């Protein structure tokens, strides 16, 4: 198993191959349909270069002290992000986490930008939450809790399987 540490550089993902199993330590950001749309149409809320995006709508609890905790976090179907993902990857995202695969436009963007798409196992939201150490911030909460971009500090988040690599290969072929 390969543990990637964020922020990621091109060299960190260029040798990953379809079928490799990875974990991620550092920072990941959740981003679903509306966050992707907003990134493309209105601009990125922060520099996305070297970042990891997770197609997830976490269940979040706001604690009495005003901080947040993740109760559960699992992948959502990635194909819903197909209209936006290539443009988002062009902004420097190195790893996209989701489930179910993505289209050939995304495959080309991964290849052009030396990035990878990895799959998280559906139904493992309670398992993945154990790797979340803290919620660092939230962006675009006006979109609602599932659609907001949550910045999460994680430790050995995974296991994740490389499903589309930076050489254009896909587990779905």
- Helices (H), ranges, the chain: 10-13, 33-42, 82-89, 104-113, 125-129
Tokens for 44, please give them.
């990125």
Strand partners, 70: 60
Is residue 55 part of the annotated active site? The answer reads: no
Residue in 8, 18, 35, 36 annotated catalytic? 36
Residue of 158, 150, 159 whose CA lies nearest to 30: 150
Tokens for 49, please give them.
């270069």
Strand partners, 154: 26, 132
- Please give the span between the terminal C-alpha atoms of the chain, in angstroms, as a whole number: 23
Residues 47, 155: Cα–Cα separation, whole Å = 22
Region of 50 on the Ramachandran plot (φ > 0 left; ψ -120 to 50 alpha; else beta) = left
Determine contact, residues 85/36, Cβ cutoff 8 Å.
yes
Residues belonging to the active site: 36
């Amino acid at each position: 198993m390969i543990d990637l540490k964020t922020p990621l550089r091109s060299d960190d993902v260029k040798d990953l191959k379809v079928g490799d199993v990875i974990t991620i330590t550092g920072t990941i950001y959740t981003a679903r349909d509306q966050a992707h749309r907003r990134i493309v149409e209105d601009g990125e809320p922060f520099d996305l270069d070297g970042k990891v995006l997770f197609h997830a709508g976490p269940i979040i609890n706001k604690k009495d002290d005003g901080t947040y905790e993740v109760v559960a976090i699992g992948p959502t179907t990635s194909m819903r992000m197909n209209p936006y993902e290539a443009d988002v990857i062009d902004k420097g995202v190195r790893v996209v986490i989701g489930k179910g695969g993505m289209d050939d436009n995304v495959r080309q963007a991964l290849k052009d930008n030396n990035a990878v798409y990895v799959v998280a196992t559906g139904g493992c939201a309670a398992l993945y939450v154990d790797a979340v150490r803290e919620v660092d911030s939230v962006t675009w909460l006006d979109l609602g809790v599932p659609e907001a971009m949550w910045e999460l500090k994680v430790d050995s988040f995974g296991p994740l399987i490389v499903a589309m690599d930076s050489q254009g290969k896909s587990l779905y072929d």
